[in-house]
Amino acid sequence: MNKVLPIMMAMALTAPLSLSAMQIASVNLTSANITSDAPKTNSDATVVVGSATKPEFTAHSAKDVSKAADAPDSANVLLKKRLHGLQQYQAAFNQTVTDAQGNIVHEAQGTLTMMRPNKLRWETTFPDETLLIADGEAVWNIDTFVEQVTIISQDQAIKDNPIVLLTANDDETWDSFVISKLDDAKASLTLEQYQIVPKSTDGQIKSLTLGFNSDGILSTLDMLDAQDQTSALVFSKQDLDFAIDTAKDNLFSVDVPQSYIIDDQR
């Protein structure tokens, strides 16, 4: 199972996706008015998610960055405006992971919840129940099947990962990436797409492509990793204004059962 996207997403918090390159290389929307039920939180990490229809998508690699599109500075400004509307974001997702030859190697369904700054919750309900939480300081990967929790530093987890832009506001982080707005020849006819490429070549992610629908809502996310695997997420039931009762909802905190094994790698 490719877990790279889910973990990197949660780690970057912003945003996955499928994280499996780091062996945590184990880690996404149609109208702002569409709402979804907030994930149910409990010790077993069970979540109820509405089904999502998986539309077609186009994955873009780093070499496909549009040279004819807006200048980098202009693309930066436009993408920042789009993401500024994602102060909080919740959506159901369908995830498809394909290898370099285009073969499907993994599929998943679940819910993604993000909140600025730097908080993310990634839950899958199919084919397995998994839970990953980035709380701003650490990333918690909860495996209910083996009753184990792996904890890593969030700063290290999102290093050079473009998913971090989903929840990061600071210029220093944004300056670590080259951002291009895909021109009409490369972008989907129905989406406004931006490709993000790390300036460093040491990371596990080569490129990230974000697609926004006609309402300016994040609808797709494609991530190309160092193994040339593409993790594509299609979002539905997006909610940008869901209510959170901090006294009752522990969306971005972890209550580890006493029976669980804790592997703290921070």
pLDDT digits (tens, 9 = 90+) for 165-204: 888 878 888 999 999 999 765 666 789 999 999 998 888 8
pTM above 0.75, yes or no: no
Q: What are phi and psi of 162, to 5 degrees?
A: -65, -15
Is the pLDDT assigned to residue 222 strictly greater than 90?
Answer: yes
Amino acid at 86: L
CA atoms of 13 and 166, how far apart (whole Å): 6
List Cβ neighbours of 122 (8 Å cut-off, separation of 6 or more).
Answer: 6, 7, 9, 10, 16, 27, 110, 111, 112, 130, 131, 132, 133
What pLDDT does residue 188 have? 67
List Cβ neighbours of 253 (8 Å cut-off, separation of 6 or more).
Answer: 133, 135
Is the pLDDT assigned to residue 83 strictly greater than 60?
Answer: yes
What pLDDT does residue 264 have? 94
Residues 112 and 121 sit within 8 Å (Cβ to Cβ) = yes
The proportion of the chain whose per-residue pLDDT surpasses 90, expressed as a percent, equals 44
Is the pLDDT assigned to residue 7 strictly greater than 90?
Answer: no
List Cβ neighbours of 143 (8 Å cut-off, separation of 6 or more).
Answer: 130, 149, 150
Mean pLDDT over residues 214-232, rounded?
Answer: 94
What pLDDT does residue 203 have? 80
What pLDDT does residue 151 have? 95
